[in-house]
Structure 1
Amino acid sequence: MAGDKSYTTSEVAKHNKEKDMLIIVDDSVYDVSEFVNEHPGGAKILKRVAGKDATKQFWKYHNEGVLKKYAPKLKVGTVKETAKL
C-alpha cells in the first residue's frame, strides 16, 4: 500500500531531480514528481525544496485542507529517524 515505506532524510535527499522529486512535510514523505507542473505556486518552488524538508515553507503558504486533499495521491511514506551517535 502507498505511504508505508520508511525513508531516511539522506534517502529523500537523493530524490531531487526533474522527474524524481520527494519532499518532506512534518514526518511524511511526498512524491511531487508528477505534481510539480500542476502546483498552483509554480514548479520552481517545488524544485527548490526537492529532496528536502519543506515543512516550514509548506505551512507558511498552505493550510491543513491542502494536505488532506493531496496526501492520498502524493504521500509515499514517512521519515524514519536515524540513530544519533
Structure 2
Amino acid sequence: MKQQDFSNSLRLLKVKYGLRFVVSKVLPGHIVLIVLNRKAFDSFTSRFLTDEGIKDYTYDRDEKLASFYLNGVKFSLLGKEGCG
C-alpha cells in the first residue's frame, strides 16, 4: 500500500471522525495509533462502526475498540494511558 493511501485514511479518521492521535508505528498495511481522546472516541464507537468502509473490528478485554480495517489498512488503537 502506498504512503498516499495511509495518509488518506489518517486524514479521514482525523477530519470525519474527530479522532486525535499520534502515529506510533507504521508497518506494511498496518498502523498503530495512540489515541489522545479515547474517552470521547469510545462514546461514539458504535456509530463509527456502522459507517461504510469500517470492517473486521475487534474489541479488547475492556470491551473497547481495539482494531479495525479502513480502506484496506489495519488500525490498532492504544490509549495514551497504556503507553508508559
Query: What TM-score do the two structures reach when normalised by structure 2?
Result: 0.32
Q: Taking CA–CA contacts closer than 8 Å with sequence separation of 6 or more, which of the two structures ends up with the larger relative contact order? A: 1
Query: What TM-score do the two structures reach when normalised by structure 1?
Result: 0.32
